[in-house]
A and B are shown apart, each in its own frame.
Chain A
Amino acid sequence: MAENDDDDVPFMQKLLDNNFLLLFLGVASPGLLYILWGIIDIMNVPLAK
């Protein structure tokens, strides 16, 4: 019965109830889009000759 109840929980609610998955997403999203992409941009700046 408990398993069936768990299956009935919508995906979004499962996501929002998973504190540590949210923590991972909250660090990974800006980590990739802002920091990592930013570092790649800076590394691609040509050096002055």
Chain B
Amino acid sequence: MATTYRTCPSSGLQFENNAEKLMRWHAVAGVLWLLVGGITALLVILTRWPAIKLLPADEFYLILTAHGIDMIILWILHFEMAVLFFASSTLLRCRLATPKLAWLGFWLMVIGGIVCNVAIFQGGSSVMFTSYVPMQAAPHFYLGIILVAVGALIGTGIFFATLVVAKKDKTYQGSLPLVTFGAMTAAIIATFTILSGAAILIPTFFWSMGWIKEIDAQLYRMVWWGLGHSSQQINVAAHVSIWYLTAAVVFGAKPLSEKVSRFAFLLYILFLQLASAHHLLSDPGMSSEWKVLNTSYFMYFAVMASMIHGFTVPGAIEAAQRKKGYTNGLFEWLRKAPWGNPAFSGMFISLVGFGFLGGISGVVLGTEQINMLMHNTFYVPGHFHTTVVVGTTLAFMSITYILVPTLFRREMILPKLCQIQPYLYGISMSVLGLVMMGAGTLGVSRRHWDMAFSGAPFQYEWPGAAYLMMGLTGVFGVIAVVGGGLWILLVVGSLLFGKKLNGGKVSDKPTPIPLDTTAASATAHTDKDDHVAVPGTVVLALLLLVTFVLYYFVNWKYLSEVWLLS
């Protein structure tokens, strides 16, 4: 099939015509869902803020369902499809396999997303993101998610087919570039995730139609979390790949050791999805062996992989900076980093927030005993707002500052606001996650719309700190919504009103990667003579380790106080 290739003059990245259009459409669809998710986020925050309590209970659960589906599934999956096409077709400089099928996948995702949202806003499907049976939603709620999943599975399959095209056409030599390998890790996890979703949501759809009598609640929870949590592991693999990409693009950084980074991705492939079990640590139907092996043992391999990435990405940046002469002391490389470049600042806040907040709280939640301290409390959404939002969404936002000029050929508008946005969003979301976890540690429930349980026959006397934490959740949540809204404004404004940039040369065939360009950096392999000592990163890693150990054992101490044994 005849196609063309456009070489971006500033980055050297080469966009195949079909892949370029699909990336743009997926990115735009993702941003639109983020807008809906952001509006619903504001309503959720203003309801859980005890001093405001904006919505009545039924509307709150409706809005919370929409917020979960639109953010966790639709915004992120659409953006991830764009990432997969970028990591395959663009980085490997080859045609996208079966573009017509890719468009089918895109439209299935769009239609599925709309159908699911219609079901939610009609009011009969306020079952929230988890949609636990025996709560039953309208059939088109499940059908919408199934259509989205099928569309995403098609996109994932096309990613693998494009890898085959690149290998056959010999558009790369040796192993896949690390960023593409990381995206492949995301695609592998996506395959398991979507198959799990199909295995449970198709029968649930039949049940909602009355074709099946019942769905076992325990079986549903177990298989559903193969979808629900693994979908977040796709995000982890995707945003780690973006960290490597940003480090390569902004600094020309090469991974400290590709072998080690690839091995860490292999650990993700084998073990990351098993963390789904930590949602079921209080379920009586699952054995202790299943719980403990899947979380406290196998999951730690994946945690180790995240710690490796958390070390090697800043390590690669430090090595690149030291080669440029920033060698004074432990942290000159970091002080002299381009903190005014939103692609870097967003990526670095994403990395630190994911590691210190999301990573540490994830291990705590994955430990069966101390999980009981905060199981199903407000701590859980606090945790995943630091992983999925600070980690993934902020990484996606930061790479957009690179993609708008290269992919959409538009200059970003209002550059000063672009500089501020990652700090506004990243810091407020990090504090939001912290205070949510604080409220959860004090026992505030995960989803109940009214923590005061107004009108209940038996009242619970909350400590004042719990109300303080929920008030701070409201304040920082609103700031985070403003930060997210600012990003949408900047991106949409740039697409509509940004200065048009030169699209570059168009050719009928892929051309070799130009030297010393973004494209060359993003696909470079580590050489033997690239080794540079990275003492600053070692100190940062030790800081993370000490923080983790202290917090982990503080929770054991806390457990000993609430679990009194005579």
List the interface of chain A (C-beta within 8 A of B).
12-13, 15-17, 19-20, 22-23, 25-27, 29-31, 33-35, 37-39, 41-42, 44-45
Contacts and interface: CB of A to CB of B under 8 A. Distances in A.
B101 interface: no
A39 B219 contact: yes
B184 interface: yes
Contacts of B226: 30, 34-35
A27 B259 CA distance: 22
A19 to B, nearest CB: 6
Given A30-B230, A34-B274, A25 B218 contact: no
Contacts of A22: 184, 188, 266, 269
Given A26-B191, A39-B219, A12 B163 contact: no
Interface in B217-265: 218-219, 222-223, 226, 230, 259, 262-263
Contacts, number: 87
Interface string B261-286: 01100100111011011000000011
A22 B222 CA distance: 24
The 6 closest A-B pairs by CB, nearest first: A26-B188, A30-B273, A26-B269, A38-B222, A29-B270, A27-B192
B454 interface: no
A17 B196 CA distance: 26
B298 A33 contact: yes
A22 B262 CA distance: 12
A11 B70 CA distance: 42
Given A22-B188, A26-B188, A38-B223, 11 more contacts: A13-B175, A19-B176, A23-B160, A23-B188, A29-B274, A33-B293, A34-B226, A38-B277, A39-B222, A42-B219, A45-B218
B175 A16 contact: yes
A41 B436 CA distance: 33
- Classify the interface of chain B: helix, strand, loop or mixed: helix
Interface string B283-295: 0011100100110
B157 to A, nearest CB: 10
Contact of A19 (B184, B189, B222, B285): B184
Contacts of A27: 188, 191-192, 195
B192 A38 contact: no
A34 B270 contact: no
Contacts of B269: 22, 25-26, 29
B216 interface: yes
Contacts of A45: 218, 285
Nearest to B265: A16
A33 B222 contact: no
Interface string B433-449: 00000000000000000
A25 B270 CA distance: 7
B384 interface: no
B152 to A, nearest CB: 15
Contacts of A34: 222, 226, 273-274, 276-277, 294
B61 interface: no
A37 B222 CA distance: 11
Contacts of B219: 39, 42
A16 B269 CA distance: 11
A12 B536 CA distance: 30
B294 A33 contact: yes
29 contacts: A16-B181, A17-B176, A19-B160, A19-B176, A20-B160, A22-B184, A22-B266, A23-B191, A25-B269, A25-B270, A26-B188, A26-B189, A26-B192, A26-B273, A27-B191, A27-B192, A27-B195, A29-B269, A29-B273, A30-B226, A30-B276, A33-B293, A33-B298, A34-B274, A38-B277, A38-B286, A39-B219, A39-B222, A42-B216
B192 A30 contact: yes
A32 B294 CA distance: 11
B287 A33 contact: no
A26 B270 contact: yes
A38 B219 CA distance: 8
Interface in B133-167: 160, 163
A23 B157 CA distance: 11
A25 B268 CA distance: 11
A11 to B, nearest CB: 12
A14 B277 CA distance: 31
B287 A30 contact: no
B160 A31 contact: no
Contact of A17 (B175, B216, B276, B293): B175
A22 B266 CA distance: 8
Contacts of B222: 34-35, 38-39, 42
A31 B266 CA distance: 16
A17 B181 CA distance: 9
A45 B221 CA distance: 15
Nearest to A30: B273
Nearest to A10: B259
Contacts of A42: 216, 218-219, 222, 285-286
A12 B263 contact: yes
Contacts of A15: 266
A20 to B, nearest CB: 7
Contact of B290 (A20, A25, A31, A41): A41
Contacts of A25: 269-270
Interface in B173-195: 175-176, 181, 184-185, 187-189, 191-192, 195
A25 B189 CA distance: 10
